[in-house]
Amino acid sequence: MIISSAEFITSAVKPTQYPPPEYPELAFSGRSNVGKSSLINTLVNRRHLVKTSRTPGRTQLINFFLVNRSVLFVDLPGYGYAKVPVAVRKNWGPMIERYIGERENLSGLVNLLDIRRQPGPEEHSLAGWLSARNIACLWVLTKADKLSKTKQKNRRLAISREMGIDPETLILFSAKTRQGRDILWERIQELCRAFEPQA
Ligand code: GDP
């Protein structure tokens, strides 16, 4: 995928602050430290478009980026970081639920999971939530470079069983080696093609 432009548009906490729904939109979600900023930066060939935070999970903002003037990428706040104040953590669910429930141009969610972790209650409830709302989702296993190719395949199989999904639909990804970048872009483009702009 050739990237001609990638720009930060705005941050939001509520729907009135979202940019107009003019483009297909992909939202990226995952536990804090899963490698979400690194994955988005790899997709758009930028080192610092999405800033990696020193205190992960503190910024509970929804950040919008416009890529190639044709698709919006949304960086959702990471979940599951223990040091985040309880009040902030409690706000995560309603904020994300509102975003997912109300965003009319949402083409799909890209859910990230560290390849070395088992899916937890958060991943299961997110998967249930998305299928109940009929929202397309992609599952990406991050930091694949930490494991050998054989172990990557074994982990993919174990995670697919745990999540009850086809292993072929789990994308092995590494920001370090760029493994999986092309296939992820292909899947994203498939989801975008289904988007019809609002008249
Ligand atoms: P975020 O909190 O989900 O946005 O995660 P970051 O992108 O900030 O990454 C968290 C940490 O994991 C950083 O130290 C990254 O350098 C590291 N990391 C991210 N992606 C990869 C990867 O593909 N391979 C390896 N080995 N480390 C990664």
pLDDT digits (tens, 9 = 90+) for 91-131: 778 888 899 989 999 999 999 999 999 999 889 988 988 98
Q: How far is the CA of 35 from the centre of ligand 1 (A)?
A: 4
> What's the token pair of residue 1?
């995928």
- Whole-number CA gyration radius for the chain: 16
Q: Residue 3, Cα to own-chain centre: how many angstroms? A: 19
Q: Domain containing 138: what range?
A: 6-192
pLDDT digit string, tens, across residues 28-60: 999 989 999 999 999 999 988 998 665 555 558
Ligand 1 lined by 114 (C-beta under 6 Å) = no
Residue 62 lies in a domain: yes
Residue 197 lies in a domain: no
Q: Which atom of ligand 1 is nearest to the CA of 173?
A: 23
Q: Which residues, including other chains, have CB under 8 Å from residue 16's CB and lie 6 or more apart?
A: none
| Residue linked to tokens 């990696």 | 52
The CATH code of the domain that includes 174 is 3.40.50.300
Residue 29 lies in a domain: yes
Q: CB count, 10 Å around CB of 196?
A: 8
Handedness of CA 159, 133, 110, 79 (dihedral sign): negative
Residue 55 lies in a domain: yes
Q: How far is the CA of 78 from the centre of ligand 1 (A)?
A: 13
Q: How far is the CA of 32 from the centre of ligand 1 (A)?
A: 10
Residue 198 lies in a domain: no
